[in-house]
Amino acid sequence: GWCHVVCALYIPEVSFGSINSMEPIILKKVPQDRYNKLCYICEEQGRANKATSGACMQCNYKSGCKQHFHVTWSVCFACSSNHYKLN
């Protein structure tokens, strides 16, 4: 498999073979459960076919939030400022 570098930086189970070159990206410790989650932002953006591709993170912005999302969306929407409120 492969992984975006930004995803590798935020998904705790991902590691780099070399931190200097940031490669190879090692995915063997990523639990299958991360790949089984639906990205709610993909679904809201009309990209339901992408909602299940790749690993997802669970929101930790506010207590009790159970939303899952792809790390790349957090970069796009700057999650901490609006908790992914999409207009």
pLDDT 10s digits, 5-51: 999 999 999 999 999 999 999 999 999 999 999 999 999 999 999 99
Q: pTM to 2 decimals?
A: 0.77
Asked whether residue 60 is domain-assigned, the answer is yes
pLDDT of amino acid 77: 67
Mean pLDDT of 45-66: 88
Q: What pLDDT is stored for residue 11 in this prediction?
A: 93
- Of 16, 11, 3, the closest CA to residue 69 belongs to 11
Which residues are 80's β-sheet partners? Answer: none
State how far the Cα of 72 lies from the Cα of 56, in Å rounded to an integer: 10
Alpha-carbon distance 32 to 18, whole Å? 24
Residue range of the domain that includes 64: 5-82
Asked whether residue 87 is domain-assigned, the answer is no
Number of structural domains the chain divides into = 1
- Asked whether the beta carbons of 30 and 49 are under 8 A apart, the reply is no
Side chain identity at 8, as an amino acid letter? A
